[in-house]
Structure 1
Amino acid sequence: MRKTQSDAQVPENALIAEAAKGSKAAFNRVMNEQAPRLQNIALRMMGNSSDAEDAVQEALAAAWFKLASFDLSRPISPWLTRITVNKCRDLLRKRRIRQFFELHSDNEASMMVADDAPDPCAELQAHQALEVMQKEITRLPAALREPFVLVTFGENSQAEAAHILGISEKAVETRIYRARNRLREIADKLEG
């Protein structure tokens, strides 16, 4: 009987190769390691954990189906990040379309139903400045939010973020700078 390496000793690229051949166990091991980072990125992109979980689930499902075409000479992390960012974009687009149609639905019926949402002022006081900044991050234009989230929360270098987003490193640097300035202005208003 041949000895196998322990789970901790199996290199990630060997697991990815096994997963590409159809091993769900190998795929799950790699994804369990990657999922928290992807969840963190999606949370910052989507603004709430439920939508973030949906985006990551869709990203992992897409990764499973596309894994056979993955270039094993490359690291998997940027590839999974790109898929996750794209799924977030798709879900945000769907959310905007849904909101558009909800705004144009029967306004009388929607006005008669009590609003279950917590009072925005009370929620703001309860969650303090950190929660406010999270919301402000999701309100940044996508061109600023995406590089900011990938580098700040996604553990990506500016070069990796540039590759994932298909833009130059200088563009990533500039967009992060602009995002930070906007967030700093908001923080200053909150303090003042």
Structure 2
Amino acid sequence: MTRAEAKERNRRALLAAASEVVTRDGYRARLDEIAERAGLTTGAVYSLFGSKAGLVVALVTEYLRPHYEEIARAVPADLGLLDAVDAFARHSRRESDAPGAHAALSLQITLLDMAVHDAALATRLAESIEAQEDRLAELFTGRAHEGGVVTPHQAHRLVTALRALFVGLTQGVVLGLARDADEQFFADAARALAAGVTRSGEGPVPGASDAH
């Protein structure tokens, strides 16, 4: 095994251990237990991630990256804005029924708790999430809508609103508080939100007609 391969193996072992310990203990998670579970020392944590906060941020990035990659695959490039939002909404609803939905919700709540207790960590977590959401905004930018195309500013406003909508609805589904929120409910709510967000911001750039 090369040095680079060993480093990557150690990195993944620490992330896997951190996922277990952080989900269970939140901001009380101890580096020595994480390192022990990974079969490493706390020195490896500092060497690879710089700090406990760095490890948590890397954990979030590792969790979010495939999530946003799946969204990109679920939303065809040739759809107008509202149909693209519809596809995104239906994908989000299906994720609520996925086998790992409860574990994902537990991790979200734990990370929120950690951020509340650590302002510096909250800032770093926000930066990590915003970086991923920039990619999502790119997914909607330039799509045809109401005789124009969606601007980057509108796309970012929309992504912020959709995140809040889907987080709330998904939590409701997982906790049994939104039993009637099926795919169509998600899609209708998201379409209405998208229409409102784009109308309240700057108008779409002229030059394209929404054929969808």
TM-score (normalised: structure 2): 0.29
TM-score (normalised: structure 1): 0.31
